[in-house]
């Protein structure tokens, strides 16, 4: 799907009570999406289109074409009457088995079983698990596209006696314009920021977008001590050249110099799990040996880094 075909988000209601967001999935517990035990909200819709994306079904927004409806064996999907004569896709949560069988039938990289939820509905889900959680992570897709919803949600969580202890972190590709970070970060502890590539031409090839805004976001977050972690998905033979490695080290040094806390760099090894077939055929999985080499070079350069291979 070309990046140009990703539509802007639909009309958003303006009051917190009626504000809604499309959520691809809610993971009740995770220990890999920030410190401690966390609930993860995967927002639907992304403004990049990375070939290496492990959750490509979170990229697109539904245009209610109905192509997926007949592919749900559980009768959870239907086209119902929307505004005026327009039909819209509805997923009945009581019937959906979360089997993901419908996903491959959406040509827009959408998720037919994504649910549109109000702020109070999400608060209820968080509250159910709150005693066992350390925090909540806003992920996606690109969570910052739904920043108004996140701000409203954070306000409610902070007011709720059972939820106010929860930390709040954002996973982001960094494309949010700098002027929008202050309000969003006044409600969040920080951002785990993806760096896809240092060379802008390579970044455009990998994601469909320039990295200029990403780097501007990184600087703002570092200056304001909201850069919790940098993340680099290493794709062997694609974005792991010596020039890219040198660029990552230089960026890390510049950002670290602006921060009070130590900046961790998390390395993720590219794997084929979940990746669209055409890209899985293009990129090879990154070997453990290559990850070890890169980790050693970064450590030698004074970068505080750790790696994950799964």
* 22, 140, 144, 176: which one binds ligand SF4 (CB under 6 A): 140
89 scored as a contact of ligand SF4 (CB under 6 A): yes
Q: Which of 62, 122, 115, 71 is nearest to 93 (CA)?
A: 115
* 19, 23, 41, 59: which one binds ligand SF4 (CB under 6 A): 59
* 1, 3, 26, 66: which one binds ligand SF4 (CB under 6 A): 66
The DSSP bridge partners found for residue 204 are none
77 scored as a contact of ligand SF4 (CB under 6 A): yes
The token duo for 131 is 């005693």
Nearer to ligand SF4 among residue 9 and residue 101 (C-beta): 101
45 scored as a contact of ligand SF4 (CB under 6 A): no
22 scored as a contact of ligand SF4 (CB under 6 A): no
81 scored as a contact of ligand SF4 (CB under 6 A): no
Residue 261 to residue 139: CA distance in whole angstroms: 23
Do the beta carbons of residue 242 and residue 206 sit within 8 Å? no
Residue 276 to residue 55: CA distance in whole angstroms: 9
The DSSP bridge partners found for residue 235 are none
Chain mean position to CA 183: 19
Could you tell me the smallest distance in angstroms from the CB atom of residue 307 to ligand SF4?
A: 18
The DSSP bridge partners found for residue 89 are 79
Nearer to ligand SF4 among residue 207 and residue 307 (C-beta): 207
257-296 positions binding ligand SF4, by CB under 6 A? none
Residue 310 to residue 308: CA distance in whole angstroms: 6
Task: Build a one-symbol-per-residue string for 234-253: x at contacts with ligand SF4 by CB under 6 A, - elsewhere.
Answer: --------------------
The token duo for 215 is 């780097």
Stretch that binds ligand SF4, among 45-53, 180-188, 255-263, 269-277 (CB under 6 A): 45-53
CA distances for 82 relative to 19, 177, 242, 253, angstroms: 18, 32, 53, 52
Q: Which residues bind ligand SF4 (CB under 6 A)?
A: 46, 48-50, 53, 55, 58-59, 62-68, 72, 74, 76-77, 89, 91, 96-102, 105-106, 108, 110, 112-113, 140-142, 173, 207
């Amino acid at each position: 799907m070309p990046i140009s075909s990703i539509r802007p988000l639909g009309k958003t209601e303006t009051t917190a009570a009626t504000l809604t967001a499309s959520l691809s999935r809610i993971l009740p517990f995770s220990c890999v999406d920030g410190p401690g035990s966390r609930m993860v909200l995967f927002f639907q819709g992304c403004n990049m289109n990375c070939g290496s994306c492990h959750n490509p079904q979170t990229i697109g927004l539904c245009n209610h074409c109905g192509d997926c409806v007949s592919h749900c064996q559980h009768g959870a999907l239907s086209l119902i009457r929307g505004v005026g004569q327009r039909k819209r896709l509805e997923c009945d949560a009581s019937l959906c088995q979360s089997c993901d069988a419908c996903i491959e039938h959406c040509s827009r990289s959408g998720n037919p079983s994504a649910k549109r939820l109000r702020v109070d509905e999400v608060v209820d889900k968080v509250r159910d698990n709150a005693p066992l959680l350390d925090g909540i992570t806003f992920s996606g897709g690109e969570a910052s596209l739904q920043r108004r919803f996140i701000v409203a949600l954070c306000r409610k969580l902070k007011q709720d006696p059972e939820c106010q202890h929860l930390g709040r972190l954002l996973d982001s590709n960094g494309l949010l314009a700098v002027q929008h970070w202050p309000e969003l970060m006044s409600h969040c502890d920080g951002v785990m920021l993806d760096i896809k590539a240092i060379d802008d031409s390579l970044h455009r090839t990998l994601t469909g977008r320039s990295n200029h805004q990403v780097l501007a976001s990184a600087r703002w977050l570092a200056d304001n001590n909201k850069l919790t972690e940098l993340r680099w998905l290493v794709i062997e033979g694609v974005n792991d050249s010596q020039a890219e490695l040198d660029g990552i080290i230089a960026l890390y040094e510049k950002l670290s110099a602006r921060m009070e806390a130590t900046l961790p760099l998390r390395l993720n090894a590219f794997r084929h799990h979940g990746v669209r077939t055409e890209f899985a055929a293009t990129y090879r999985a990154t070997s453990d040996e290559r990850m070890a080499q890169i980790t050693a070079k970064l450590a030698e350069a004074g970068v505080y880094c750790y790696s994950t291979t799964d």
